[in-house]
Chain A
Amino acid sequence: MLSSVFSLLAQETPTLEDLQEQISLDSLVLTEVFYYYTVVVMWLIHVGFMAYETGVSRRKNLMSTAMKNILTIAVVTPTFYYFGWYIYGCFEEGWPKSGHASPDAVPGFCGLTAPWSSGLGPNMESNLTGHLSLVFFLAFLLFSWTTGSIMSGAIIERVRLSAYLLLTVVLGSVVWIMDAAWGWSGGGWLTTRYGFHDTIASLVVHGVAGAFAFGVLLNLGPRIGKYDVLGRARSFRPHNTHMTLMGLMLIFTGFYGFYAACLFIQSTVFPGWVNIYLSPTTLGAIAMVITIGFAGGFTGGWFASKGDPFWTLSGGLAGVVSVSAGADVYHPSLAYLLATSGGMLAVWSGGYIEKKLRVDDAVGAVAVHGVCGFYGVFLVGIFAGGYPTGINNIPVSFGGQLMGMMAFLPLAFLPGFILSWLLKRFNLLRVPPEVELEGLDLAEFGQDFYPEFERVPEIIVTPDGQEVDSADILLEAYRSTNGKPTTRVEA
Chain B
Amino acid sequence: MFDTFPYDEWSDTVTDFWTWGPANSTGTYVLTVLGCILMVASLIGWVWLEKQKLDRQAAALRASGAFEQPSAPGPQATSAGD
B1 to A: closest C-beta gap in Å:
11
Pairwise interchain contact A437-B50, C-beta atoms closer than 8 A: no
Interchain CB contact under 8 A, B78 and A124: no
Q: B17 to chain A: closest CB distance in Å?
A: 10
Q: Which chain B residue shows the least CB distance to A120?
A: B23
Q: How far is the CA of A479 from the CA of B25 in the complex (A)?
A: 61
Per DSSP, chain A at the interface is helix
A238 to chain B: which residues have CB within 8 Å?
A: none
Q: Does any Cβ of B come within 8 Å of A284's Cβ?
A: no
Q: Which residues of A contact B25 (CB under 8 A)?
A: 116
* Cβ contact within 8 Å between A479 and B58: no
> Given A166-B43, A443-B57, A444-B50: A123 and B22 within 8 A (CB)?
yes
Contacts of B29 in A (CB 8 A): 116
B67 touches A434 (CB 8 A): yes
- Proximity bits, A238-251, B CB within 8 Å = 1, else 0: 00000000000000
State the main secondary structure of chain B at its contact with A: helix
Q: Who on chain B is nearest to A11 by CB?
A: B3
Instruction: Determine whether the beta carbon of B80 is less than 8 Å from that of A437.
Output: yes
Contact assessment for A165 and B80 in the assembled complex, using a CB-CB cutoff below 8 Å: no
Please give me the residue from chain B that is nearest to A442 by CB atom. Answer: B79
CB-CB < 8 A to A443: which residues of B?
53-54, 57-58
Flag whether A78 is at the interface (Cβ < 8 A).
yes
B18 touches A458 (CB 8 A): no
Q: Which listed residue, A169, A431, A470, A479, touches B81 by the CB 8 Å rule?
A: A470
Q: How many residues of B contact A (CB 8 A)?
A: 42
Q: Are B76 and A432 in contact (CB under 8 A)?
A: no
Near B by CB (< 8 A), chain A positions 436-489 give 437-439, 442-444, 455-458, 469-472, 474-475, 478-479
Interface centre among A116, A124, A443 (most CB of B within 10 A): A116
Contacts of B47 in A (CB 8 A): 162-163, 166, 428
Chain A residues with Cβ under 8 A from B49's Cβ?
A: 162
Whether B23 pairs with A123 at a CB distance below 8 angstroms is yes
Contact of B61 among A59, A438, A444, A469 (CB under 8 A): A438
Asked if B81 contacts A474 (CB within 8 A), the reply is: yes
Residue of B nearest to A443 (CB): B57
A116-B24, A439-B82, A458-B82 known; A82 vs B35 contact (CB < 8 Å): yes
CB-based contact A471/B81 at 8 Å: yes
Which residues of chain B have C-beta atoms less than 8 A from A161's C-beta? 46, 50
A475 touches B67 (CB 8 A): yes
Residue of B with least CB distance to A117: B23
Asked if residues B75 and A475 are in contact (CB atoms below 8 Å), the reply is yes
Whole-angstrom distance between the Cβ of B72 and the nearest chain A Cβ: 8
Q: Would you call B11 an interface residue if the criterion is a C-beta within 8 Å of the partner chain's C-beta atoms?
A: yes
Chain B 13-24 against A: per-residue CB contact (8 Å), 1 yes, 0 no? 011001000111
Write the nearest CB–CB distance from A475 to chain B, whole angstroms: 6
A222 → chain B closest CB, angstroms: 16
Contact A437 B75 (CB under 8 A): yes
> In whole angstroms, how far apart are the Cα atoms of A119 and B62 in the complex?
54
A-facing mask of B58-82, CB < 8 A → 1, else 0?
Answer: 1001100001001000111011111
Chain A, residue nearest B14 (CB): A124
CA of A116 to CA of B21 in the docked complex: distance in angstroms? 11
Q: CA of A362 to CA of B67 in the docked complex: distance in angstroms? A: 25
* C-alpha spacing A166/B45, complex, angstroms: 12
- Contact in complex: B58, A60 (CB < 8 Å): no
Other A-B contacts than A60-B79, A162-B50, 10 sampled, CB-CB below 8 A, are A59-B82, A115-B28, A124-B11, A162-B51, A438-B57, A444-B54, A455-B82, A457-B81, A471-B80, A475-B75
